Structure 1
């Protein structure tokens, strides 16, 4: 009897929580949809440093506005892949206002992994950076922690050493099934 319980548990788990295309117990069907969307986010970066590491800059508050293509994979445990392009608007007490046009990609299935390339500018200089991030997310939204790496050796902008943020779709357009 003790050997029968694990087998029975696995059988019932497979029947109740499976992700088959014709799953009769689930209201979610296994399908792929593509949805254009506008994503808005807030990020906070503390303890920014310059490249010489001789002084600390004030914290940065970052507003993100991007246009995204969300590719959702359905089922009980769905996932999403997001391609996006847009801009960060950075407010810093010491350095004023920055902008950072960017492009990126993320993959969300409970966990969120992604990377983006930013071109931070104060309208006099442009500094390219790459930011990998990880966190939690799904359906195009995400709660992440990332780190900016500079791509040039010499620069005068502060580097935000650690960035945390939340991004969420505020407007979804007509979805298309694939």
Structure 2
């Protein structure tokens, strides 16, 4: 009787937790689909700091608008890569309005990893920054946490250190299947 339990466990777990046949025989199984899209997002950054860490600026609210190229690999459980260029529009109570033109790349298969290079400006000076991020995502959308690193030593511009955001495609254009 004790030898029957491992056999029943393997039999039931294999039948209950395996994939369904129609899921693995998807028509998109090995296709790569490239889609241009417009992505929009909202990011929140609390406790912005300058490089001297002598004062704390107010929180930042960031609206992201980018044009992206979404490349989806595989079928129903595939992955996606997103190449994008656009701009962040940053509203800060203490320092006013900023813009941050940027370029970036993101890769996702349930877990999203990516990085972007930003050029934050208040129309008087430009500060380059790099922001790696991670989170959850797929199909061009993502929920991420990122951290901005400055690329110049001397700057008196607030840096939005920890940033939490969500980005989603609002308009997809014609798909190209390869």
The two structures share one fold, judged by TM-score above 0.5: yes
TM-score normalised by structure 2 residue count: 0.90
Q: Deviations over 1:37-92 (max 9, x none)?
A: 00000001010011111111011110000000000113231211100000000011
Matches within 5 A, 1:18-167: 20=24, 23=25, 26=26, 29-167=29-167
Aligned length: 174
Deviation at 1:30, TM superposition (A): 3.4
Runs of at least 5 residues in structure 2 that lack an aligned partner in the other structure? none
Aligned CA-pair RMSD: 1.9
Runs of 4+ in 1 over 2 A off after TM superposition: 1-20, 26-30
In 2, are the aligned partners of 1:17 and 1:76 still within 8 Å (CA)?
Answer: no
Deviation at 1:19, TM superposition (A): 6.8
TM-score normalised by structure 1 residue count: 0.90
**What is the SS of the residue equivalent to 2:53?**
coil
1:3 corresponds to: 6
Partners of 1:128 and 1:10 in 2: how far apart?
Answer: 52
Runs of at least 5 residues in structure 1 that lack an aligned partner in the other structure? none
Deviation at 1:115, TM superposition (A): 0.4
